[in-house]
Chain A
Amino acid sequence: MRKDIITSAIGIVVLTVLLGIIYPLFITGVSQVAFPGNANGQKVYVDGRLVGSKIIGQNFADIVYKNGKPEMSDGNPVTTPDPHYFQTRPSGTDPADNDAATEFANYGPNSVVTKAALVANIQAYIALNGKYYPGGLTAAKIPVDAADTSASGVDPEISIANADIQAYRIAAIRHLSLATVDGLISKYTLGRGLGFSGEPGVDVLEINLALNRLSPSTR
């Protein structure tokens, strides 16, 4: 029994050093040498300023000013979607999707709360894109990913159908041809893993940065 206790106690300490310190340090070392960009979060800089991560979704919205000061709600500034940019998916992460803390929205399949959230998201999407889309938008025409909240709350991608609808608005506001915007969509669409796993999607931060490079003086 005494020998057993000694072995167990030493075992836990030795294995903690081995698996809890040496193993992560080793992986960090290899990663930082072999794939430093990925290991540090695929940071994106514009003019030397960190603007986000290529694989983390963010909110492309403007702060609402009231009497010259940002309007606040629950300690966070109230924002409105910036029509010059492609918009990411709705998020359950609070505030918006710009905090390090991620969370699920946990909207149930049979819940009136879910329906209300969906209706609000649909109305916001129509208000933003409806007048630019030929023939106008109805709920039935909206791709599901534009109304449903993502899982991580920081989904970096939107579906191609979602991007195609927003393209009309972007083209009109930025005075670009629809073909130009569609070209960008194709360029920044990430394919399926191994050609079959998952779904293609448009990386929203990357396409927005490309738009800014194309027509910088939009604001």
Chain B
Amino acid sequence: MTFLGWLTIFLFVGLLTAFAIPFGSYLAAVYTGERTILDPVLRVPERLLYRILRVDPNNGQNWKQYAKSLILFSLFGWLLLYFILRTQTLWNFTGLNPMHFHSAPWNVTFNTTSSFMTNTNWQYYGGETTMSYFSQMAGLTVQNWLSAGVGIVVAVALVRGIVSRGGSSIGNFYQDMIRTILYVLAPLAIVYAILLVFQGSIQNFSGYLTAHTITGLTQQLGMGPVASQEAIKMLGTNGGGFFNTNSAHPFENPTGFTNFLEMLSVLIIPAALVFMYGKMAGNRRQGYAIYATMMVMFLGAVSVAYIAEAHGSPAQHAAGLHTAVIHGSTGGNMEGKEQRFGIAGSALFDTVTTVTSCGAVNSAIESFTGIGGAVPFANLSASEVIFGGVGTGLYSILLYVLLAVFIGGLMVGRTPEYLGKKIEAREIKLVSLGILITPLAALFCTALATASKAGRASIDTAVAHGPQGFSETFYAYLSQANNNGSAFAGYTGFIQPNAGNLGSHGITFADLLGGFDMVFARYAPILFALAVAGALVGKRISPAGLGTMRTDNPTFVVLLIGVIILVGALTFFPALLLGPIVQGLTPHLY
């Protein structure tokens, strides 16, 4: 460990908070219809889009209508993306398939389409050997925007349900979607993409280059419109890399500066949404309490990851390497890590992208030490409430807040109330289902894949022996259920002997199981969150009294952390023991 390593971590936290607070106020203005500084520029395109889409922004929807629009919109998005990916060569006339890649097989495409629609971006394929530029842009990039938008609008709808004073409207889905894209994502993505190119990311449509190296070898260089996709991939907590090695690839993440920027860009919207919530609730301390809860858990996770990775791995020590800091080298577990990011920049990055549903990686998670690799596991086991995906994080932790209020209310013997609204049997049933559905999907799929021969076919037996094979499998379905998309990358559902998909085939079991895992664990919690919004929206707000349990003080933060850890630990501990914890506690090699 180094001083600069810890400094990076703490500067990151400080800068994130400093940017997120004002941005949260901006978001509140966007979603309550107040004037924003971008109104003069964006009012015209906004109205134009309403007219083209035949949306009446004054037409508020109840939760069922809102959910119906959301599902229809997602369904059409799925169909168009599947069509584009399966007809890849049909679009060659655009000139955006210079390497003449064929389509991936139907089962891999089913998985990929479900993956990008659900903000997961789990990838069984490698971008530079599978996807044309057209598929990357018009297919995958589009869902990078839209799936992020869907997450955000659900969070906004739930917040409206909690803070509203009567009526049944939780907003208009299409209006929320359009405002999210125009006012929130677009301005950030445009500036950010250009910053990435300024630092060295590529953005072109040329075919792959062939270099003749100074020692007489040849080298092929993948090209493409990378920066535009990279920007929205990080901002929307999507995480699907243009290249197979994701944000480790120098064209996606060229410098230490971009590494820092990419980490900030992942957390900025999830963090700002929490402050937005405080503002919309009329009590900023409600937002601070949730932010504190998230930050405590985040700092714990990143510290453990950094310490573990700086210590080095049993395999390194067995090979005789010294992993202490020496002059000119940080030491530590550099297996699967890039020199320009170092240990701290890798541990922080992978913590940031696994607490959120981003899932981008700048280092190989499978090569993390047992304890370092247990951190992504633990982050996923906490069901993405530590900041979480854009929107997903806020609506998921609000479900936990309601659960904590209920448990707290039982402990003090009063009817549970949150922001003056009574939490009754119906809400708690919906909340419990919303919380439990993701772990259920993850564990069910893991069990099925571990117990069946078809599932074990996906394990990379060349490197994954003993508990690592289980870790690979468990991580795959946990990551897909949480819509994260990061991977112990040895686990595969796609056999691709040649670049360009000729002669390739998918592993149907893993492709379909993963695809359903993602869709189910995305849309079921969304429906429960919207149903909770619907149940709360019309409730009367009773004034706070002396006996009201406060939800904006440190006591509540501790209670909330306790509930999150308890649910996560009770659900996942047995499975975690079999994989990463065994690997972390033993110096034994398998």
Contacts and interface: CB of A to CB of B under 8 A. Distances in A.
B425 interface: no
B205 interface: yes
Interface stretch (A128-136, A149-157, A169-177): A149-157
A105 B364 contact: yes
Contact of B315 (A30, A101, A118, A164): A118
Contacts of A156: 250
- Scoring A38, A106, A140, A201 by chain B CB atoms within 10 A of each residue's CB, the highest score goes to A106
Contact of B339 (A8, A11, A51, A157): A157
Interface string A18-30: 0111011011101
A179 interface: no
A99 interface: yes
A38 B73 CA distance: 37
Contact of B215 (A12, A62, A100, A139): A62
A212 interface: yes
A160 B318 CA distance: 24
Contact of B225 (A28, A30, A79, A157): A28
A100 B248 contact: no
Contact of A151 (B198, B338, B583): B338
B329 A111 contact: no
Nearest to B7: A196
A145 to B, nearest CB: 5
A71 interface: no
A89 B363 CA distance: 14
A10 B52 contact: yes
B257 A101 contact: no
A122 interface: yes
Given A101-B129, A144-B334, A158-B339, A27 B214 contact: no
B254 A55 contact: yes
Given A38-B198, A41-B251, A56-B251, A199 B181 contact: no
- Scoring B216, B367, B464 by chain A CB atoms within 10 A of each residue's CB, the highest score goes to B367
B16 to A, nearest CB: 14
Contacts of A113: 462-463, 465
A182 to B, nearest CB: 11
Interface residues of B, number: 139
B367 A105 contact: yes
Contacts of B331: 143-144
Nearest to A122: B319
Nearest to B3: A196
B202 A15 contact: no
Contacts of A158: 339
A11 B79 CA distance: 13
Contact of B204 (A3, A39, A56, A151): A39
Contacts of B529: none
A148 B369 contact: no
B58 interface: no
A40 interface: yes
B193 interface: yes
B499 interface: yes
A27 B314 contact: no
Contacts of A108: 315, 366-367, 463-465, 468, 583, 590
B194 A34 contact: yes
Given A110-B314, A147-B319, A157 B213 contact: no
B326 interface: yes
Contact of A145 (B72, B205, B339): B339
A118 to B, nearest CB: 4
Contacts of B341: 198-199
A101 B128 contact: yes
A3 B54 contact: yes
A51 B211 contact: yes
Interface stretch (B28-36, B136-144, B427-435, B514-522): B136-144
A192 B256 contact: yes
Nearest to B583: A110
A116 to B, nearest CB: 9
Given A7-B54, A198-B256, A56 B215 contact: no
Nearest to A7: B53
A168 interface: no
A31 B118 CA distance: 30
A153 B202 CA distance: 18
Interface residues of A, number: 116
Contacts of B190: 23, 26-27
A190 interface: yes
A197 B257 contact: yes
A199 to B, nearest CB: 3
A8 B73 contact: yes
B298 interface: no
Interface string A165-195: 0000000000000000000000000101110
A32 B588 contact: no
Interface string B349-367: 0000000000001111011
A132 B11 CA distance: 42
A88 B272 CA distance: 41
A38 B138 contact: no
A27 B256 contact: no
A104 B219 contact: no
A27 B225 contact: yes
Contacts of A153: 245
B552 interface: no
B555 interface: no
Contacts of A58: 211, 213, 217, 219
Interface string B173-212: 0100100010000100110011001111111111011111
A11 B488 CA distance: 36
Contacts of A30: 194
Contacts of B336: 92, 104-107, 148-151
Given A122-B320, A151-B245, A194-B260, A53 B194 contact: no
Contacts of B525: none
Nearest to A212: B214
Given A14-B52, A16-B142, A140-B321, A98 B369 contact: no
Contacts of B193: 27, 31
B339 A106 contact: no
Contact of B72 (A5, A34, A143): A5
Please give me the 9 A-B residue pairs with the lowest Cβ-Cβ distance, nearest first. Answer: A198-B256, A193-B256, A139-B320, A193-B257, A161-B328, A199-B342, A160-B328, A151-B248, A20-B138
Given A13-B80, A58-B219, 4 more contacts: A103-B489, A107-B336, A109-B367, A151-B346
Interface of A: 1, 3-16, 19-21, 23-24, 26-28, 30-32, 34-35, 38-43, 46, 49-53, 55-63, 77, 79, 82, 85, 89, 92, 96-115, 118-119, 122, 138-145, 147-164, 190, 192-194, 196-199, 201, 208-209, 212
Interface of B: 4, 7-8, 11, 49, 52-55, 68-69, 72-73, 75-77, 80, 126, 128-129, 137-139, 141-142, 145-146, 174, 177, 181, 186, 189-190, 193-194, 197-206, 208-223, 225, 227-229, 231, 243-245, 248-251, 254-260, 312-316, 318-323, 326-342, 345-346, 361-364, 366-370, 372-373, 460, 462-468, 488-490, 499, 583, 586-590
